[in-house]
Amino acid sequence: MLHIKPILVALKRHKAGTILIAMQIALTLAIVCNALFIIDQRLDRIARPTGLDESNLVIIRNRWVGVTDEATGPLIHGDVQALRQLPGVQDAISINSYPLAGGGWSTGVRVNVDDKKSKAHTTLYFSDEHMLPTMGARLIAGRNFTPDEVTDAKANAVDTPAVIIITKALAHDLFPDGSALGKSVYVSDTKKPSTIVGIVERMQVPWNSSWADAWAENAVFQPYVLMYSGNVLLIRTKPGQQDAVMKSAPEMLFKLNRMRVFPKENGVRTFANQRESIYKRDRGMAILMGVVCLVLLGITAAGIVGLTSFWVGQRRKQIGVRRALGATKRDILSYFLTENLLIGTVGVLIGALMAIGMNLWLVTQFEMARLSLAYVAIGVVALLLLGQGAVLAPAMRASRVQPVEATRSV
């Protein structure tokens, strides 16, 4: 620290290189901070629990061919009954959608019949009393549907059920004081109340994109079996029976009725497959960002190594002179480390502002979350360390310049 002033003074005579490296550090910091933030958000998103018991869960996307929606009712009941009889199957339902499906139903919920605005946004899951056990949802208050509460419903004219079950998150949005159980609410634009008879700990919406983030765990379960030609069959298998059921279930369903197709690519899959494919983009994005970070850090480190090596070569004589005048090897080493620290400090200060600016821009353009300052702090420390690491080899070389070099002409 003793020598900051003369180092700064000398740097003024090497403006181009100094500014170049400082800007490179700044830009790297700005991008790396934001990239790490995005990576972390993606990873957080991927790690979110769905509320499903994800193991031993098989999904079949069923497409009835040549059957009108209204005519699917008995066929669907037949399918579900047969599936529940199938060896290896623990339970099965026909449902409109499920967490991470990618598409589903969403609507608003009002607390009072006259409310103009809904109190909360939610997704809707329709199935019978087997819905919670098949999904593996945990009921934390109230009760499940009874068989007599379940009715068939037309897909294009779903009515309002007398009873519903909701998630804890939705319950909290509707009744922050925790009094949801037993209360009546109005789902969509109906005037008919639905009574909350059960509360489920957690069930995610079908969407994994950020637009649903604010209500990612708001779900209403309704005791309807949708008569719909594009229904989903959700099968909970007995432990270890997943692969067997993946084969036997479609075969059996075809035997039961041939008027259907299971889409080739994703007709029959495990929930694990579904999770994998729905998060492919997020994972890909995280990996890409990670690679970009590494490349940028590598380029910056290489730039520092390159410039310092150049400077050391350029200043061999002056290093020799300094040694002749009494500088120790450590003095020379610390000269270059300090020089780098000074450039790095300017770089990270500018970079920190740029990182925040870049994030604000992303916030307005892409509805990104606000960058936590912890990322900036970590990035600042990381880049300063990177600089010191990169400068170490050339600085060591500089410290080994012999004092006798002072006497050698050029």
Residues forming contacts to another protein in the complex (CB under 8 A) are 2-3, 6, 9-10, 13-14, 317-318, 321-331, 402-404, 406-407, 409
- The values of phi and psi at residue 137, to 5°, are -75, 145
- Rounded Cα gap, residues 130 and 309, in angstroms: 71
The pair of structure tokens assigned to 383 is 């880049």
**236 Rama sector, left if φ>0, alpha if ψ -120 to 50, beta otherwise:** beta
- Rounded Cα gap, residues 378 and 360, in angstroms: 19
Residues 6+ apart with CB under 8 A from 324: 403, 406, 407
Closest approach of Cβ 278 to another protein, in Å? 59
For CA atoms 276, 201, 205, 35, the dihedral sign is negative
Return the number of the residue (12 or 117) whose C-beta is nearest another protein.
12
Residue 66, classed as helix, strand or coil, is coil
Closest approach of Cβ 16 to another protein, in Å? 14
Closest approach of Cβ 324 to another protein, in Å? 5
Residues 6+ apart with CB under 8 A from 139: 132, 165, 198, 199, 200, 201
Closest approach of Cβ 339 to another protein, in Å? 11
Return the number of the residue (157 or 325) whose C-beta is nearest another protein.
325
DSSP lists the bridge partners of residue 277 as none
Closest approach of Cβ 14 to another protein, in Å? 7
Return the number of the residue (280 or 408) whose C-beta is nearest another protein.
408
Return the number of the residue (209 or 402) whose C-beta is nearest another protein.
402
Closest approach of Cβ 41 to another protein, in Å? 46
Return the number of the residue (151 or 407) whose C-beta is nearest another protein.
407
Return the number of the residue (201 or 405) whose C-beta is nearest another protein.
405
